[in-house]
């Protein structure tokens, strides 16, 4: 007897859910400075007296929040490293880093997926970078799931008869149950 397992690409499911759940909080930051931004300015200028007018600096920035499907910190770090990020700040379930002119902060509330907060100059657009990270995370999640399934099959002494990668990047495993 044979059994066929189809792994639908996480990317496809993720793209649909992300398109529905992505939200923008751009207007809410106009007169507020996040703790991260304040900390960056304080580090750069040393004290409040040496700082330029923060309202002017914040006015040059755009802040967006995106609800992600990211659940695994290790996969998130791997994905960001693949995009060239070397310096991370990880405190509890919050990861902060910089890519190009963007400051990224991933944080969790409870058991829900990470929320991505992006701070960037108003003349820059982070959408393509965020989309690239989303796509790469989805591929990494699919790869991780695939490897875990193969490991579980080995532990159960089940043999894979065939593996096939479909046009949509889904993976079909045919398992011999005899």
- Over the stretch 14-28, which tens digit does the pLDDT of each residue have? 444 443 333 333 333
The upper half-sphere exposure of residue 87, i.e. CA atoms within 13 Å in the direction of its Cβ, equals: 5
Position 71 confidence tier, pLDDT thresholds 50, 70, 90: very high
- The C-alpha angle 84, 106, 68, rounded to 5 degrees, equals 100
- In this prediction, residue 15 carries a pLDDT of 45
Helix, strand, or coil (residue 102): strand
The pLDDT of residue 129:
85
Per-residue pLDDT reduced to its tens digit, 148-167: 999 999 998 888 888 888 88
Least confident of 21-25, 51-55, 73-77: 21-25
- Note the pLDDT of residue 53: 52
d(CA 132, CA 126): 10
Q: Which residue has the higher pLDDT, 5 or 139?
A: 139
Q: Is the pLDDT of residue 48 over 80?
A: no
User: In the block, which residue shows the tokens 């106009």?
Assistant: 30
Q: pTM value?
A: 0.66
Which distant-in-sequence residues (6+ apart) come within 8 Å of 57 by Cβ? 41
Mean pLDDT of 29-58: 49
pLDDT band at 77 (very low <50, low <70, confident <90, very high): very high
């Amino acid at each position: 007897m044979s059994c066929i397992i189809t792994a639908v690409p996480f990317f496809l499911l993720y793209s649909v859910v992300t398109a529905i759940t992505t939200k923008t909080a751009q207007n809410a930051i106009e007169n507020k400075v996040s703790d991260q931004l304040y900390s960056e300015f304080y580090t750069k200028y040393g004290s409040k007296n040496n700082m330029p007018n923060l309202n002017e600096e914040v006015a040059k920035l755009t802040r967006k929040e995106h609800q992600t499907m990211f659940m695994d910190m290790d996969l998130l770090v791997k994905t960001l490293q693949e995009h060239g990020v070397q310096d991370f700040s990880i405190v509890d379930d919050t990861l902060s880093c910089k890519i190009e002119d963007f400051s990224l902060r991933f944080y969790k509330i409870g058991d829900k997926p990470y929320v991505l907060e992006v701070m960037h100059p108003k003349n820059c657009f982070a959408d393509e970078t965020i989309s690239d990270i989303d796509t790469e995370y989805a591929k990494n999640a699919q790869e991780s799931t695939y490897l875990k399934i193969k490991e579980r099959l080995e532990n159960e002494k089940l043999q894979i008869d065939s593996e096939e990668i479909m046009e949509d990047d889904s993976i079909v495993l045919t398992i011999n149950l005899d």
